[in-house]
Protein backbone atom coordinates (compact mmCIF):
# COMPACT_ATOMS: atom_id res chain seq x y z
CA UNK A 1 0.00 0.00 0.00
CA UNK A 2 1.40 3.37 -1.02
CA UNK A 3 1.90 6.04 1.57
CA UNK A 4 -0.24 9.12 1.26
CA UNK A 5 1.74 12.27 0.76
CA UNK A 6 1.16 15.06 3.21
CA UNK A 7 -0.44 18.05 1.52
CA UNK A 8 1.88 20.94 0.86
CA UNK A 9 1.32 23.82 3.17
CA UNK A 10 -0.07 26.83 1.43
CA UNK A 11 1.24 30.21 2.42
CA UNK A 12 -1.10 33.12 2.13
CA UNK A 13 0.39 36.59 2.00
CA UNK A 14 -1.50 39.08 4.13
CA UNK A 15 -1.22 42.78 3.23
CA UNK A 16 1.34 44.77 5.19
CA UNK A 17 0.36 45.92 8.66
CA UNK A 18 1.51 49.02 10.47
CA UNK A 19 3.37 48.37 13.72
CA UNK A 20 5.05 50.69 16.20
CA UNK A 21 8.29 49.60 17.82
CA UNK A 22 9.49 51.21 21.04
CA UNK A 23 13.25 51.53 20.79
CA UNK A 24 15.51 52.30 23.75
CA UNK A 25 18.04 54.92 22.62
CA UNK A 26 21.72 54.15 23.14
CA UNK A 27 23.40 56.81 25.26
CA UNK A 28 27.12 56.93 26.07
CA UNK A 29 29.07 58.83 28.72
CA UNK A 30 32.47 60.45 28.10
CA UNK A 31 33.42 61.38 31.70
CA UNK A 32 31.82 64.79 31.20
CA UNK A 33 28.53 64.46 29.31
CA UNK A 34 26.02 61.89 28.16
CA UNK A 35 25.57 61.77 24.40
CA UNK A 36 23.50 59.80 21.92
CA UNK A 37 25.34 57.28 19.73
CA UNK A 38 26.14 58.74 16.32
CA UNK A 39 24.72 55.75 14.49
CA UNK A 40 21.25 56.44 15.97
CA UNK A 41 20.98 52.80 16.94
CA UNK A 42 18.87 51.47 19.74
CA UNK A 43 17.38 48.37 21.28
CA UNK A 44 13.81 47.37 20.35
CA UNK A 45 11.85 46.75 23.55
CA UNK A 46 8.16 46.40 22.62
CA UNK A 47 5.95 46.26 19.53
CA UNK A 48 2.40 47.63 19.31
CA UNK A 49 -0.16 47.55 16.52
CA UNK A 50 -1.83 50.65 17.95
CA UNK A 51 0.13 53.90 17.62
CA UNK A 52 -1.68 55.61 20.51
CA UNK A 53 -0.82 52.75 22.88
CA UNK A 54 2.81 52.75 21.71
CA UNK A 55 3.15 56.49 22.27
CA UNK A 56 1.53 56.22 25.72
CA UNK A 57 3.94 53.46 26.77
CA UNK A 58 6.87 55.38 25.30
CA UNK A 59 5.94 58.45 27.38
CA UNK A 60 5.60 56.30 30.51
CA UNK A 61 9.07 54.84 29.98
CA UNK A 62 10.61 58.26 29.27
CA UNK A 63 8.89 59.73 32.34
CA UNK A 64 10.20 56.91 34.53
CA UNK A 65 13.74 57.59 33.26
CA UNK A 66 13.39 61.38 33.48
CA UNK A 67 12.54 61.22 37.17
CA UNK A 68 15.86 59.49 37.95
CA UNK A 69 18.31 61.23 35.60
CA UNK A 70 20.72 64.08 36.33
CA UNK A 71 19.83 66.27 33.36
CA UNK A 72 22.88 68.47 33.88
CA UNK A 73 25.00 65.78 32.20
CA UNK A 74 23.20 65.68 28.84
CA UNK A 75 24.41 67.52 25.76
CA UNK A 76 21.95 69.60 23.81
CA UNK A 77 19.82 72.43 25.07
CA UNK A 78 20.53 71.58 28.72
CA UNK A 79 23.74 73.28 29.77
CA UNK A 80 24.35 74.16 33.39
CA UNK A 81 22.21 76.52 35.44
CA UNK A 82 21.06 78.81 32.65
CA UNK A 83 18.62 76.11 31.57
CA UNK A 84 17.52 75.47 35.14
CA UNK A 85 16.13 79.01 35.11
CA UNK A 86 14.35 78.20 31.84
CA UNK A 87 12.81 75.12 33.48
CA UNK A 88 11.83 77.09 36.57
CA UNK A 89 10.07 79.60 34.31
CA UNK A 90 7.62 76.91 33.15
CA UNK A 91 6.97 75.79 36.74
CA UNK A 92 9.24 72.75 37.05
CA UNK A 93 9.69 71.40 40.58
CA UNK A 94 13.02 69.72 41.41
CA UNK A 95 13.92 66.78 43.60
CA UNK A 96 17.57 67.97 43.39
CA UNK A 97 18.07 71.33 41.73
CA UNK A 98 21.87 71.26 41.83
CA UNK A 99 22.02 68.06 39.76
CA UNK A 100 18.89 68.99 37.80
CA UNK A 101 16.74 66.03 38.85
CA UNK A 102 13.05 66.81 38.38
CA UNK A 103 10.43 65.88 40.95
CA UNK A 104 7.60 63.39 40.49
CA UNK A 105 5.31 66.20 41.75
CA UNK A 106 5.33 67.70 38.22
CA UNK A 107 2.31 67.11 36.00
CA UNK A 108 2.67 65.04 32.82
CA UNK A 109 2.26 68.25 30.79
CA UNK A 110 5.22 69.84 32.61
CA UNK A 111 7.32 66.69 32.17
CA UNK A 112 6.57 66.66 28.42
CA UNK A 113 7.75 70.28 28.24
CA UNK A 114 10.93 69.37 30.15
CA UNK A 115 11.70 66.56 27.69
CA UNK A 116 11.10 68.94 24.81
CA UNK A 117 13.28 71.74 26.21
CA UNK A 118 16.11 69.41 27.23
CA UNK A 119 15.89 67.47 23.97
CA UNK A 120 16.45 64.12 25.68
CA UNK A 121 14.51 60.93 25.16
CA UNK A 122 15.51 57.46 26.22
CA UNK A 123 12.76 55.74 24.25
CA UNK A 124 11.30 56.49 20.82
CA UNK A 125 8.46 55.07 18.73
CA UNK A 126 9.52 53.87 15.27
CA UNK A 127 6.75 53.06 12.77
CA UNK A 128 7.41 49.94 10.68
CA UNK A 129 5.57 47.88 8.07
CA UNK A 130 5.13 44.19 8.86
CA UNK A 131 4.95 41.56 6.15
CA UNK A 132 2.85 38.73 7.47
CA UNK A 133 2.57 35.29 5.97
CA UNK A 134 -0.03 32.83 7.15
CA UNK A 135 0.40 29.11 6.77
CA UNK A 136 -2.83 27.43 5.68
Q: What is the mean pLDDT of residues 5-14?
A: 67
Q: Is residue 96 part of a domain?
A: yes
The long-range contacts involving 103-107, CB below 8 angstroms and separated by at least 24 positions, are 103/67, 104/67
Q: Is residue 63 part of a domain?
A: yes
Q: Is residue 95 part of a domain?
A: yes
pLDDT at 42: 87
Per-range mean pLDDT, top range of 31-35, 36-40, 113-117, 121-125: 121-125
What is the C-alpha end-to-end distance of the chain, expressed in Å?
Answer: 28
CB 34 within 8 Å of CB 71: no
CB 136 within 8 Å of CB 9: yes
How far apart CA 115 and CA 99 sit, in angstroms, is: 16
How far apart CA 28 and CA 72 sit, in angstroms, is: 15
pLDDT (tens digit per residue) in 90-113: 999 999 988 889 999 999 999 999
How many domains would you assign to the chain? 1
Amino acid sequence: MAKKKAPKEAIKHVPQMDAFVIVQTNWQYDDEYNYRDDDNSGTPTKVYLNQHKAEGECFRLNKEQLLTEQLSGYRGNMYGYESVDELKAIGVKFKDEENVIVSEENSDDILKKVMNIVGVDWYQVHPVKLDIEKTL
